[in-house]
């Protein structure tokens, strides 16, 4: 579940008609010390968007490596979403394929297969991030919807207001949103800060845990 939050750290360069990017991020402990880093890429290939997020973090005695890949149409409707995770000694691979109003989720290494209904233009978690930024860039507020990160999650973004925050030691003007995410067995609230640039870059995410608030920051 925590790795889902790391999908919310995208930063971009705006290109005509969409995004072309390869950007870096830093993840910090509540103390401010570095915890890890990641990279997100986005490109168009044969009329489809290819998004990817790779994350590497190191906790003493525990290694985390996550890679998420999303293929989406030009309208940002999901075609396929893949998760490859390594959390300590545990490795997991999972793929969800979308076709019309149905999706098939397959877990490798004997994990099985499930089919379930989805909206005609479903969004996996990574495609949803770009959808939100597209809506904000067009001056629209994205409404509540269901997104897919293996299981289905309902998400709602509530606008808090304009706020200047420090992102990787750089003062940045942003719009602050409170995100509320509800899954089959969990409920999360976290803070998103979208830069007021043309691409509506997600500049900062603050995720609360028992030990404090972790920060995910755009590295420019």
**Geometric angle at alpha carbon 142, from 136 and 147, rounded to 5°:** 120
User: 203 has which bridge partners?
Assistant: none
> How many whole angstroms separate alpha carbon 119 and alpha carbon 205?
28
Structure tokens at 161: 């207001």
Give the pairing of strands 112-117 and 21-28. Answer: unpaired
Encode 109-124: b = buried (16+ Cβ within 10 Å), e = exposed.
eeeeeeeeebeebbbb
> How many whole angstroms separate alpha carbon 212 and alpha carbon 220?
25
pLDDT in the model for residue 17: 46
Per-position pLDDT tens, the chain of length 220: 445 444 444 334 434 345 688 878 898 877 777 889 988 889 998 899 999 988 888 777 788 889 999 999 999 999 999 999 988 888 889 999 999 999 999 998 767 899 999 999 999 999 999 999 999 999 998 999 999 998 899 999 999 999 999 998 999 999 999 999 999 989 999 999 999 998 898 899 998 876 667 888 999 7
pTM surpassing 0.75?
A: yes
pLDDT in the model for residue 67: 94
Phi first, then psi: what are they for 7, rounded to 5°?
Answer: -70, -15
| Long-range contacts formed by 21-26: CB under 8 A, 24+ apart | 23/218, 23/219, 24/219, 25/216, 25/217, 25/218, 25/219, 26/168, 26/216, 26/217, 26/219
Hunting for tokens 């999901």 — which residue is that?
78
Our count of domains for the chain comes to: 1
pLDDT in the model for residue 18: 58
pLDDT in the model for residue 19: 66
Nearest to 135 by CA among 73, 71, 76, 70: 76
Helix (H) or strand (E) holding 168: none
Helix (H) or strand (E) holding 132: helix 125-137
> How many whole angstroms separate alpha carbon 191 and alpha carbon 210?
16
| Number of alpha carbons in the 13 Å side-chain half-sphere of residue 27 | 22
Specify whether the CB–CB gap between 181 and 173 falls below 8 A: no
- DSSP secondary structure letters along 63-98: EEEEEEEEEE-TT--EEEEEEEEEETTEEEEEEEEE
Hunting for tokens 């998400």 — which residue is that?
155
pLDDT in the model for residue 211: 63
Domain with 31 in it: 2-219
CB atoms under 10 Å from CB of 185, counted, come to: 7
């Amino acid at each position: 579940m925590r790795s889902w939050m790391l999908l919310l750290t995208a930063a971009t360069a705006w290109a005509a008609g969409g995004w072309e990017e390869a950007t870096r991020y830093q993840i910090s402990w509540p103390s401010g010390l570095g915890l890890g880093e990641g990279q997100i890429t986005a490109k168009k290939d044969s009329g489809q968007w290819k998004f990817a997020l790779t994350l590497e973090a190191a906790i003493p005695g525990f290694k985390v490596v996550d890679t998420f890949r999303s293929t989406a149409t030009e309208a940002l409707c999901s075609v396929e979403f893949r998760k490859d995770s390594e959390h300590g000694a545990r490795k997991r691979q999972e793929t969800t394929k979308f076709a019309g109003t149905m999706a098939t989720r397959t877990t490798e290494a004997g994990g099985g297969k499930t089919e379930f209904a989805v909206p005609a233009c479903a969004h996996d978690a990574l495609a949803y991030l770009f959808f939100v930024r597209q809506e904000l860039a067009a001056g629209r507020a994205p409404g509540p919807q269901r997104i897919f990160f293996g299981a289905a999650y309902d998400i709602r973004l509530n606008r808090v207001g304009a706020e200047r925050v420090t992102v990787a030691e750089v003062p940045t003007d942003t719009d602050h949103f409170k995100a509320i995410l509800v899954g089959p067995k969990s409920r999360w609230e976290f803070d998103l800060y979208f830069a007021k640039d043309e691409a509506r870059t997600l500049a900062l995410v603050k995720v609360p845990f028992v030990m404090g608030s972790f920060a995910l920051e755009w590295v420019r």
